[in-house]
Chains A and B, each alone.
Chain A
Amino acid sequence: EAGVAQSPRYKIIEKRQSVAFWCNPISGHATLYWYQQILGQGPKLLIQFQNNGVVDDSQLPKDRFSAERLKGVDSTLKIQPAKLEDSAVYLCASSLELIRTGYGEQFFGPGTRLTVL
Chain B
Amino acid sequence: AQSVAQPEDQVNVAEGNPLTVKCTYSVSGNPYLFWYVQYPNRGLQFLLKYITGDNLVKGSYGFEAEFNKSQTSFHLKKPSALVSDSALYFCAVTPGGFTGGGNKLTFGTGTQLKVEL
Contacts and interface: CB of A to CB of B under 8 A. Distances in A.
Interface of A: 4, 6, 31, 40-45, 48, 50, 55-56, 91, 93, 95, 97, 99-111, 113
A111 B44 CA distance: 9
Contacts of B46: 105-107
A45 B32 contact: no
**Contact size class for B?**
20 to 34
B98 A101 contact: yes
A102 B95 contact: yes
A41 B96 contact: no
A100 B100 CA distance: 8
Contact of A108 (B45, B95, B97): B45
Given A102-B97, A105-B46, A43 B102 contact: no
7 contacts: A31-B102, A41-B109, A45-B106, A91-B43, A97-B103, A102-B99, A108-B44
